[in-house]
Structures are given as structure tokens and as C-alpha cells.
Amino acid sequence: MASVIYFGPLKNITNCNAESFEVTSFKELKMLIEQKYGQEVEELFKYCAFWKNGDEFSGDEISADDEIEILPPVSGG
């Protein structure tokens, strides 16, 4: 199962730091997470960076041993 690690407000929305999903594609993973957590996550995903195994993720394939990090935008001043 692929591991997903949440950061920032995503940890608050999901009430967890990480969880695992049985998926083979990034599209499928996003759909499952959006279905599980709703509109708030779907909107936030538009602005998130997605990393796979420590590298910026631009493909679609996910393996069972992959770690996906979802990083919401950072703000500050």
C-alpha cells in the first residue's frame, strides 16, 4: 500500500499525519482522498505540491512501496 503523508492544514482536515491507500495511479489516489475528506481537500489540492519518495511528482504511476507527500502552500510574512 502506498503511504500518504499530510502536512499543514491537511493534517487538521484528515485528523492524521499519514495513512495508506491501495492505488496504482496518482489520479486514483487524489480521487479517493477527495471522496474521503470532501470539498475542503478538493479545493486545497489545487494549490498543493505533490512529492513521491522525496522528489517532485509529475507522473501518474504509484507503486505499493511509494511514499507520497502532500504539501499545501505556505504563507507567512
pLDDT, tens digit, for every residue of 10-31?
Answer: 999 999 999 999 999 999 999 9
Residue 60, C-alpha cell as written in the block: 501518474
pLDDT, tens digit, for every residue of 32-66?
Answer: 999 999 999 999 999 999 999 999 988 899 999 99
d(CA 8, CA 33): 16
CATH architecture group of domain 2-71: Roll (3.10)
> What is the domain partition of the chain in residue ranges?
2-71
Rounded alpha-carbon distances, angstroms, from residue 67 to 4, 43, 44, 63, 71: 6, 22, 20, 9, 13
